[in-house]
Each structure stands twice: as C-alpha cells, then as structure tokens.
Amino acid sequence: MDLKRLGISGMTTKNWSLEEDMKGLVANGISNIGLWLFKCGQHSPQAVRQLMLENNLHVSNVCFGGVFTGEDEEARRSAIEETKKAIDFTKEVQGDCLLLISGPLGNHSFDKAVEYVRRGLLEVCDYAEKRQVHLALEPIHPMYVTDFSIIHTLDFALQLVNEIGSAQLGLFLDTFNIGWDPSIQHVIPKCKGKIKGVHLADWRNPTRSLSDRALPGQGVFPVREIIGKIEQAGYTGPYDLEIFSDELWASDYNRMLIEIKEWFAAVEVEEMI
C-alpha cells in the first residue's frame, strides 16, 4: 500500500498533545491525521486549520459526533447540537468527514433507541447538507452495545444509511469493530461509494480488557483481507491506525509509527482481491 494513504488517529497517540501529534507524524513521513476533538479544545478551528497547513497534514476525519440515544429529551437535543458544532469544526479544518457514533442502548428498548438514532441522523444530515460536510456512521463491536453503540454490524449501519438517503451520509469502517463478522465479505461490496473512512486495528487473542487492541498483523483478525475487500469496493482514501490499548498507550509512539509504516507498506492489495 502507498504510504501516502496511511494516517494516524489522535487516539492512537493518546498521551501526545496535538502539537506532539503533528511533530511525530511529520518526523515519520505520515501525512494524514484523524483529529479527536478532545485534543483540539484549546485551539480554535481556524488555528487548527493553520497548524495543518503549516505541517502539510491532511485531516482524514474528525472524531466524533452522534450519541443520539440520551436518557431524556434534553440529553438527546444536546447531542444533536454538539454534533452540529462538530460539523462546523470539520468544515473549518477541511476534514474528509465527521465520524458518528450512534449511542448506547441505555434504558431504552432496542427499537426505541434505533428510532432516536434515526431522528438524530435525519437532523444532522440536513445540517451537514447545508454545510457540505460528509458524515460517516461507524458500526461498533457488539460488546459495546450497552455503553457506546447500538449499531453493531456493518449490514445494520448500511441499512440505516440507505434508509436516511442523504448524499452526505456514509460509513466508517474499523477493522477491529467489523473483523469478527463473517458476513462482511458480502456486505463490504454493497458499500461501494459509501465508505468515507477506515480505521485499522487488530484483535489481540486472548484480549485482556476493552482497551487492548493490537497493531494490524499482530492479532487474529484478517485485516489484510478486509483491506482488499474495501479496495475492491472502490475506496481510495486514507487508512488511519486507531489504537485503544493501555499497553500501547504507554509505549514508544515513534516505534509504533515505524512498525505500522513497515506493515502498511508491505500490504499488497492485488494479491488479496
């Protein structure tokens, strides 16, 4: 794979500041960055955009908006308004897309929670259309249904995206979150034209906690094969390494960036398709 398509999510380098992220990526020849809003809080969107320009970095995505399943109407309304602010931020920094998380089951029935997600998506898609910002709904591993996301399969996410029918709404694929599901080999081709971004991570076996992702190629998921399917579906954008790992967060980030570069450069898509 062309290293120009490799990116790093700000969550991967959790203990680095935004400035340290930029310095580290530039030093390692990586040109794409996935921005996390918690790292940008001390900067205006205009200042963040200027920093990207000065460092020749491209914003592959912004994390995150959504979480539409709040316990009451006030919480759900707040989530929509915060997502609109994140859309504005994404527009200012010229990010490829704003990643959306559906929100957890909470104390709702499953059908009611999905209805709240649907309502939230309809409203923020309308706003995104006016702002000309792309949104990307990410399905999350089912172990997170009760505390993070009820959208737990790629097929479910695709159905919802098709139902909403907004030109601004697509999908964000994360190899850690979809790699467990054998149906993705049939679903990914149906996502052609709708994939807005991709996160890379692997599943450590045995996994020790909810924050125990592995670097691609160091776990048990078929990450190379998933990339092949994504490429076959016509995706041409960046692949961002996104790691949630207590062990790797405490490690040498420069060493980790070197490892992912070596692995990514060795991926030969033609052999997988």
Measured CA to CA, the distance from residue 49 to residue 34 in angstroms comes to: 13
| Within a domain: 27 | yes
Which residues constitute the domain of residue 85? 3-267
pLDDT greater than 70 at residue 7: yes
237: CATH: 3.20.20.150
| Within a domain: 50 | yes
| Within a domain: 246 | yes
* Closest to 151 (Cα-Cα) out of 114, 191, 180: 114
| Within a domain: 28 | yes
| Within a domain: 122 | yes
Q: Which helix (H) or strand (E) holds 36?
A: strand 32-36
| Within a domain: 272 | no
| Within a domain: 209 | yes
Residues ≥6 apart with Cβ < 8 Å to 22: 33, 51, 52, 55, 57
pLDDT greater than 60 at residue 271: no
Average the pLDDT over 131-157 and give the result: 97
The number of beta carbons lying within 10 Å of the beta carbon of residue 144 is 17
**Total tally of structural domains belonging to the chain:** 1
Cβ contact 204:24 at 8 Å = no
Measured CA to CA, the distance from residue 117 to residue 150 in angstroms comes to: 9
- Count of helices and strands (H, E) across the chain: 11, 10
- For tokens 């316990």, name the residue: 71
For residue 73, what is the DSSP state?
A: H
Structure confidence at residue 209 (pLDDT): 84
Rounded to the nearest 5 percent, the helix, strand and coil shares of the chain are 45, 20, 35
| Within a domain: 273 | no
Average the pLDDT over 250-264 and give the result: 98
162-216 per-position pLDDT tens digit: 999 999 999 999 999 999 999 999 999 999 999 999 999 999 998 888 889 999 9
Cβ contact 184:178 at 8 Å = yes
Structure confidence at residue 270 (pLDDT): 60
